[in-house]
Structure 1
Amino acid sequence: MFPAAASLVPSQNDQQHDQSLDRSEERPSPRPVAQRDAFFDNAKYLAIVLVAVGHSWEPLKGDSRLLQAAYLLVYSFHMPAFVVVSGYFSRSFDASPGRLKRLITGVAVPYVVFETAYPLFRRVVDHNPAQEISLLDPWYLTWFLCALFVWRLTTPVWKLVRHPLPLALGVAMLATVTPAIGDDLDLQRVLQFLPFFVLGLCLRPEHFRLVRRRSVRIAAVPVFALALAFTWWAVPRMNVSWLYHRDSAQELGAPWWAGPVMQLALFGCSLLLTACFFSWVPGRTMWFTALGAGTLYGYLLHGFLIKGADYRGWFDHPALHRPLGEIAVSVTAAVAVTLLCTAPVRRVFRFAVEPRMEWAFKRDAAALAREREEHEKREKREKREKAGVV
């Protein structure tokens, strides 16, 4: 199943926050953390809500063409939007020890934890003892963590080459005609979503200000209306698996040349709708702005609710397959993921999503030298004070 953004995106993917944390390892006195940009926190929260709502539509959409059209529309931009934001806040990644530590603790470790937890959850709730645990086959939502790990490790390469976005698009197009890539680490998704991440690396603050102009917000209304009409028309004519970006053209029963064509077409459509989505994101502080820092929690934890309801057959209730039932499910999913982004939930699950793990890493030699220097200075100062020397 296709997940989401979201931006899922780790909760500390604020670049200013990133920089001040990393600099604290290089200087004796850490600088205060810069204020977060409300726009990006708002965008991450709204994207994760769309992710959860989209997942709740998955078991219901077969009975309603309108819901299928809305599903296609949401899936065409919600994950690209999150990946773009992920790329934007990965611009400062330089493979330094501090950032590598955060990559391991904030991405790799949660991947291992939840890639283990989801199959165990299915064994218990779905009574499926045959469900295997495999770190090489990302399950359900965890593919994004795997992809983010790979994308960030390659960030220095994309910052080095002359034309990163066309090169990333070329890689994604080649992936669509290469079924031999297989399913290990969900590399098809990693490669096919790569252009959105690289685009984020290339963006600057002025680009986001450009799409947030009033004229763009107004233009986004007919664009989304036309997009919904098109997806309604496309429901019986298009294989929704193209939007998941997890298979090659041959695996979808299409000729090989359809892969690069669809990759370019979907990239253009997704980019347009993502820009429209960003144009509607408020730039001021809202009641949900603080929740943008907890979107990784909402992303990783809401899957247990969706899958648990699916395993128990709750989505099979006839009332949920009517318009009011579909609205109720959508609202419930939005409320649930909102609660999962709150501070109390983050405190409870921080051990799994953002473990500190200082014990697992060597101390930086420069930091140790600074500590010794500070310690010697304190001792000298204390001796002078005892001797009455000012």
Structure 2
Amino acid sequence: MPGRRDPWLDNAKAILVILVVVGHAIVLLPYGDPKSRVYDFLYYFHIPAFVLVSGYLSRKFAWTPRHLTALVTTLVVPYVIFEWLMAAFRVYVVGQPSSMEVLQPLWLNPHWPMWYLVALVLWRLATPLLVRHWLMVPAAVAVSLAAGEVDLELFDLNRVLGLLPFFVIGLHLPRRGLELLQARWTGLVGLAVLAGIWWLTTRTDDHWSTQWLYYRSSYDTLGVSLREGAEIRAQLILVGLAGTAAVLTLVPRRRSLLTAVGAYTMGVYLLHGFAIRYAEAQGVSDWLPGNGWTSVAITVAAAVALALFLGWPPVARRLLWLVDPVNQVLSLRRRARRGPAAPENRSAPSSG
């Protein structure tokens, strides 16, 4: 099976999950202009890109027993486990407020960063409808623009609806679209686009605050009318799409160190939050040399190292018992039925 995997897609998944870890780690830095610029730069495109690639990889999802069972085992079960683990970690390891205050919204209002598992479940359940016609793309944009008018905290529905256009675009993205992004000449264009987004970070507060980049807060909370909010969100969707295309043009086309990590992105995503929360509780920002670019470089390097470690196959395979316990048990039972002489299937599972 390793030969059947697309190394470009695995490389893309690895890069995007590394950017997620970096984006979360940047929060640990003391406040300063370097932190704000790097943080805003990443949040313009890394979540939209992650969602769009998830949509592309979800195109074949159908309401069949096999797909629905896989949805439960690979997303619902890990969500139930890790939502509880994150809440318990915050109470008993980090020492946050009383257990009742932290545990009361358990499983209904996802703890950071578990919202993405809920979103992916809901998006995939809607996929058989969303893939039927390309008109679902403008419909998803309309839903996103309108969703900013309400507060839907249950299951983080504000984000689910706000980021919906990127998922639907991923569903309808033709293979030739990805092939175009992989053309050699597109890398220079991608760098130019990212440079433009980097410039935009110097003007962010002139146009919108960082809170807009989460696609979470309502327009009323952000202090704008429906018309103003819809205009800003529409602009951010365009910037997010441009940034997504730009970063994908820079993805390596051949097998690399990243390719192996790309097969285990779910483990990286689910587990990195514990390390970052612990570092935050230990006051890691006090160990850094101020709030300048040196601290940014150290934090980014540490975040990349953490992501690569969690996605390193010898580590990631062992973590699968926590990340995907149901399928690990089923795989163990299948091997037991085949007997000791049967060859072991060592192919790396896809985290989608």
Q: TM-score range by the shorter chain?
A: 0.7 to 0.9
8 Å CA contact 1:177–1:257 kept in 2: the answer is: no
Q: Rate the CA distance shift 1:357–1:49 in 2: closer, same or farther, 3 A.
A: closer
Q: Following TM superposition, by how much is the alpha carbon of 1:132 offset from its aligned partner in structure 2, in angstroms? A: 1.5
Amino acid at match of 1:304: F
The answer as to whether partners of 1:320 and 1:326 remain within 8 angstroms in 2 is no
Q: How far apart are the structure 2 equivalents of 1:357 and 1:214?
A: 39
Given that 2:7 and 2:259 are in contact with CA atoms closer than 8 Å, whether structure 1 keeps it comes out as: yes
User: Which AA in structure 1 matches 2:38?
Assistant: A
Q: Is the contact made by 2:35 and 2:291 (CA closer than 8 Å) also made in structure 1?
A: no
Does residue 1:46 correspond to 2:15, yes or no? yes
Other structure's SS at 2:69 match: helix
CA distance in 2, matches of 1:346, 1:263: 37
- State yes or no: 1:141 paired with 2:113: yes
Instruction: Return the match for 2:278 from 281, 300, 308.
Output: 308
Q: Offset of 1:355 from its aligned partner?
A: 2.3
Q: How far did 1:320 drift?
A: 5.0
Q: What are the equivalent positions in structure 2 for 1:69-218 lying under 5 Å apart?
A: 69-128=37-96, 129-130=98-99, 131-133=102-104, 134-161=106-133, 163-179=135-151, 182-218=152-188
CA distance in 2 between counterparts of 1:210 and 1:195 reads 21
Amino acid at match of 1:331: A
Larger Rg: 1 or 2?
Answer: 1
Q: Structure 2: which amino acid aligns with 1:44?
A: K
Q: TM-score, normalised by structure 1?
A: 0.79
Structure 1 position 344, deviation (Å): 2.7
Give the 3 Å change call, closer, same or farther, for CA 33–47 of structure 1 in structure 2: closer
When the two chains are superposed, the root-mean-square deviation of aligned CA atoms in Å is 1.9
Q: For structure 1, list consecutive stretches of 5 or more residues without a partner in the other structure.
A: 1-31, 361-390
Shift of 1:123: 0.8
| Change beyond 3 A, Cα 1:165–1:243 | same
C-alpha displacement of 1:99:
0.8
Out of 10, 31, 42, the position equivalent to 1:62 is 31
CA distance in 2, matches of 1:229, 1:109: 42
How many percent identity over aligned positions? 34
Alignment of 1:260-271 (within 5 A): 260-271=230-241
Deviates further, 232-241 or 97-106: 232-241
Please state how far the C-alpha of 1:347 moved relative to its aligned partner. 2.7
- Code of the residue aligned with 2:258 in structure 1: it is F
TM-score normalized by the length of structure 2:
0.88
Alpha-carbon separation, structure 2, partners of 1:284 and 1:41: 10
Q: What residue number does 1:274 align with?
A: 244
2-side partners of 1:83 and 1:61: how far apart? 29
Paired residue type of 1:163: L
Shift of 1:62: 1.9
Counterpart Cα distance in 2 of 1:288 and 1:210: 21
Partner of 1:240: 210
Task: Name the aligned partner's letter for residue 11 of structure 2.
Answer: N
Contact 1:211 1:279 in 2 (8 A): yes
Displacement of 1:318 in angstroms is 5.0
* CA separation of 1:118 and 1:95: change in aligned 2, threshold 3 A: same
* CA–CA separation in structure 2 for the residues paired with 1:359 and 1:228: 46
Could you tell me whether the CA contact under 8 Å between 2:30 and 2:290 is conserved in 1? no
Partner Cα separation in structure 2 for residue 359 and residue 211 of structure 1? 39
The one-letter amino acid paired with 1:57 is: I
Describe the superposition over 1:1-44 as per-residue Cα deviations: whole angstroms up to 9, x where unpaired. Answer: xxxxxxxxxxxxxxxxxxxxxxxxxxxxxxx6861000010011
- Tell me, what secondary structure is at the counterpart of 1:321? coil
Secondary structure at the residue paired with 1:160?
coil
What SS does structure 1 have at the residue aligned with 2:320? helix
Shift of 1:83: 0.8
| Amino acid aligned to 2:153 | D
Report Cα offsets for 1:98-133 as digits up to 9, x if no partner: 111110000111111111011100111222333215
Aligned length: 326
Give, in angstroms, the shift of residue 53 of structure 1. Answer: 1.1
Rounded Cα–Cα distance in structure 1 between residues aligned with 2:258 and 2:183? 22
How far off its partner does 1:282 sit? 1.0
CA distance in 2, matches of 1:80, 1:67: 20
Give ranges in structure 2 of 5+ residues lacking alignment.
331-352
Q: Which stretch of structure 1 is more off in the superposition, 88-97 or 121-130? A: 121-130
Name the amino acid aligned to 2:103: E
2:308 to 300, 314, 338: 338
Q: Distance in 2 between matches of 1:152 and 1:357?
A: 19
Distance 2:292 2:143 in 1: 43
User: Do 1:68 and 1:235's aligned partners in 2 also have CA atoms closer than 8 Å?
Assistant: no
1:252 equivalenced with 2:222 (yes/no): yes
Q: Within 1, Cα distance between the matches of 2:329 and 2:22?
A: 39
1:365-384 aligned at under 5 Å gives the runs none
Deviation at 1:296, TM superposition (A): 0.8
